[in-house]
């Protein structure tokens, strides 16, 4: 038997379903939300609905956006001949923080991972190949994470796009092996971009 009202129990359950949030933390968060003003609570619920409704992938690079084309792709000062391929939007954020990369991106939304049943068809690889095949791309920087799955994904993609004649490079091993782009400091990340190698 539960001693919290059912709608409160429901909110606690929903919060506890989030990654890394246990039952105790979910309770604490739920009580915090109950203590918000009506307007704040509505805004919170609205933020979830809005994000879910408005956020979709950019027609060009597959990054998340709420417009048809993302802010990077619609920026006329970005060099569209260089495409940096990353696994997810957080990696774009990490590279943009360095303010030194002026090309565009392609977001795969994952890496090939047989263990997790993620095949190339589950990723935005087809869109990347189409983009390169269309022409106008002189260099593709493979910037997946420097771990086994990221490497395998990079290798898979490099083979697919080799026929189209664009130069294919990989981030330099300035990045500590086994880590994640998201948590790499800006200086290391910039070194890795500057020292990128033929792949």
Contact set with its own copies (CB under 8 A): 3-8, 10-11, 13-14, 18-21, 25, 27-34, 36, 38, 41-55, 64-67, 70-72, 88-90, 92-93, 96
- Largest Cα span, the chain: 66
Torsion of CA 134, 137, 141, 142, to 10 degrees: 10
Query: Sign of dihedral through CA atoms 169, 174, 177, 179?
Result: negative
| Least distance to its own copies, CB of residue 20, Å | 7
Least separation in angstroms between CB 149 and its own copies: 18
Select 43 or 162, whichever has its Cβ closest to its own copies: 43
Which of 57, 30, 33, 29 has the alpha carbon at shortest distance from 43?
Answer: 33
Compare residues 6 and 77 and give the one whose CB is closer to its own copies. 6
Report how far residue 166's alpha carbon sits from residue 162's, in angstroms, rounded to the nearest whole number. Answer: 7
Nearer to its own copies, 117 or 198 (CB): 117
Q: For its own copies, give the closer residue by CB, 88 or 149.
A: 88
Give me the least distance between CB of 160 and its own copies, in Å please: 26
Q: CA-CA distance, 12 to 28, in Å (whole number)?
A: 9
**Least distance from its own copies to the Cβ atom of residue 76, Å:** 16
């Amino acid at each position: 038997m539960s001693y919290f009202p059912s709608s409160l129990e429901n909110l606690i359950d929903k919060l506890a379903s989030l990654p890394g949030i246990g039952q105790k933390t979910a309770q604490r968060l739920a009580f915090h939300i109950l203590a918000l003003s009506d307007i704040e609570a509505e805004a919170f619920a609205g933020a979830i609905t809005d994000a879910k409704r408005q956020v979709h992938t950019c027609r060009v690079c597959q990054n998340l956006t709420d417009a048809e084309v993302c802010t990077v792709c619609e920026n006329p000062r970005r060099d569209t001949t260089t495409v940096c391929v990353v696994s997810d939007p957080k990696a774009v954020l990490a590279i943009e923080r360095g303010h030194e990369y002026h090309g565009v991106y392609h977001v795969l939304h994952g890496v090939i991972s047989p263990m997790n049943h993620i095949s190339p068809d589950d990723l935005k690889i087809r869109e990347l190949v189409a983009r390169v095949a269309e022409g106008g791309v002189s260099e593709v920087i493979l910037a997946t994470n420097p771990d086994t799955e990221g490497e395998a994904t990079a290798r898979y993609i490099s083979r697919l796009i080799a026929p189209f004649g664009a130069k294919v490079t990989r981030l330099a091993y300035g990045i500590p092996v086994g880590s994640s782009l998201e948590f790499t400091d800006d200086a290391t990340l910039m070194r890795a971009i500057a020292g990128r190698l033929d792949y």
